[in-house]
Each structure stands twice: as structure tokens, then as C-alpha cells.
Amino acid sequence: MKDAEDPMKDNYRVILQYAAEGYWIAENPELPGCIADGETAQGALSSLDVSRKLWIESRLAVGLDIPEPQEPPRKPTKRQIEAQSTHQKIAQNQHEREAENRRKLLATLSPDAREMIIREFAKLGLLQ
């Protein structure tokens, strides 16, 4: 476990994922609960920097240890970056198809049923 020396300068692993809902999620697995999101990969990483700083400061404020990074960070390979981009495109296409299917479904319903379904979709965040 780290002491209070200067944990902000440590390089913790970052897991960056694209969510099918249309946003990016970034997390530091060595720091439980240190997670952030953003509309872009860079936005999620920037938010993660803030989250990590606050996570570490809050632990230090109550006298808790800061975990050591588990392994040295690695730059992603060109193939990993391309795979992420492909995954993002697939997820976005799936999201668009699902939205189109919801619109088609709504078009087949009676006005009362359509109104009820629209309210339910809105509650679930499924309408664009």
C-alpha cells in the first residue's frame, strides 16, 4: 500500500470501454469505485483524472492507504485502437437500429398505447 508521499503521480491501469448507450467508461481497477464516463474517450479519461484525484484525497483525509499500481501501464497497440474503434461503430449501429425499431413499433400502435409506451421509454431513457 502507498503512503501519502505523492500518489497522484503514479500510473494506475486504465480500463476504457465504449458503452452501447453511446458513451465511454473509464476506470482505475486498483482503486475500487474510481470510475468516470464521458461522451468521448478523451472526455472519460479527463473525468477519470478528476475522479482519481478525489478518490486518493478522500482516502488520505481519513488515514486510509492508497493501493499500489498492479502493473506498469502499457500503451495500446494500433490493433487494439482499431478494434476499439470498430467496437464503437458496431455499438453505435446497434444503438441506431434499436432506436429505429422503437420508432417503427410506435408507428403501429393506437394513439393511447403509443402515448403510454412513449412515457415508459422516456422513463428508461430509450428515446432520442
Tens-level pLDDT at each residue, the chain (128 residues)? 544 455 555 688 899 998 878 889 999 999 999 999 999 888 999 999 999 999 999 999 999 999 988 866 567 777 777 777 788 888 888 888 888 888 888 889 888 988 888 888 788 877 65
Q: Which residues contact 109 (CB under 8 A, 6 or more apart)?
A: 117
Phi, psi for residue 78 in degrees, rounded to 5: -60, -40
* pLDDT at residue 56, rounded to an integer: 93
Residues 18 and 90 sit within 8 Å (Cβ to Cβ): no
Distance CA 109, CA 126 (A): 17
